[in-house]
Structure 1
């Protein structure tokens, strides 16, 4: 416990570690966010080599209403990381037999991490082969990904499917991360995640 300048006492949750395993890797080498399976991902400080989301910078969009749309900014969204369990839960919630990671632009699917989408910003992901990723935060669901699901799953109403995805996958659509230490990630690798100290900032 600690006392802040305003006399509030807040609990500090200590840092801790969890471990999982890479069970799927995907890349978007075309001019579209939809990905395709691969056995490995080559990462530089720009992200996945040749990927749709590679680059040190990106253009702002609807997620950054504080900037005019199209403003050049730091790219903190090199990789989309998904949980196998959460994909199954979303599919069930949408009434679909399956939800493939590539339909929504996933780059990495991991098993064994409970509530992966709730990993806090600044968590570090240490992959067995030497790559380190730093978590930026949750990847908020959007209707663009929902329409992609409708197209691939062949649902009868694209708009309904897109809205269902946004509703069902809130806080379970995975996380985005950027490359802190480059290298190659291979399918089957173990990944150790260091979760930083956490607290609630109150004013």
Structure 2
């Protein structure tokens, strides 16, 4: 067992931790607890449970199709309190789908950022530190689904198949989900710093 603990690949490549700067372009709240889409607001107050009154708020949540290892409806830790999107990536998705625009609120976004390259690809454990003191810990990327695609399709009733097209074209571009590490307020226009942790590609020990 000790050999496995100390044996490391000779070609292990480690990326040191670093920081990236961005800006908050939009914040969005949920008008009703059972509503998927969000609405633009000037500011959001976030607690350890997420956005008070939001359908994704809470210390725990029920498992669904994204967690096939649990029976559907199993109570589990809520690591998906907040949806964070990228202005640049939304533009790429819209171009790939051949639609004029894709708004954050259509797909349930809570915070839209600009300036962080490849936002959807930042690794888990990244800390998003906002100018006002709020800190969000990234759990990972948010896989696109047909449910969000259907919300987009409602805005383009003359186009068929957008619900399925979104899932195809938005992969690795649909933003991040995370949870509140340090409560606080987020405002449109404030600065944010992404603290990218040290990372490497895990490989089984041979």
TM-score with structure 1 setting the length: 0.95
Larger deviation, residues 4-13 vs 67-76: 4-13
The partner residue of 1:39 within 31, 37, 42 is 42
Q: Which residue of 2 aligns with 1:52?
A: 55
Deviations 1:117-149 (A, max 9, x none): 001000001000010000000000000000010
- Structure 2 unaligned regions, length at least 5: none
1:45 CA drift (Å): 0.3
- Taking the aligned partners of 1:10 and 1:117, their CA distance within structure 2 comes to 24
Deviations 1:28-74 (A, max 9, x none): 13111210010011100000111111111110001000000010101
The partner residue of 2:28 within 15, 26, 37 is 26
1:4 CA drift (Å): 5.6
- Cα root mean square deviation, aligned: 1.3
Q: Which residue of 1 aligns with 2:162?
A: 161
Matches within 5 A, 1:63-78: 63-78=66-81
Deviating 4+ runs (over 3 angstroms): none
Q: Which residue of 2 aligns with 1:184?
A: 185
Q: Which residue of 1 aligns with 2:95?
A: 92
The partner residue of 1:17 within 1, 11, 19 is 19
- Taking the aligned partners of 1:101 and 1:154, their CA distance within structure 2 comes to 18
- Structure 1 unaligned regions, length at least 5: none
How many positions carry a matched residue from both structures? Answer: 199
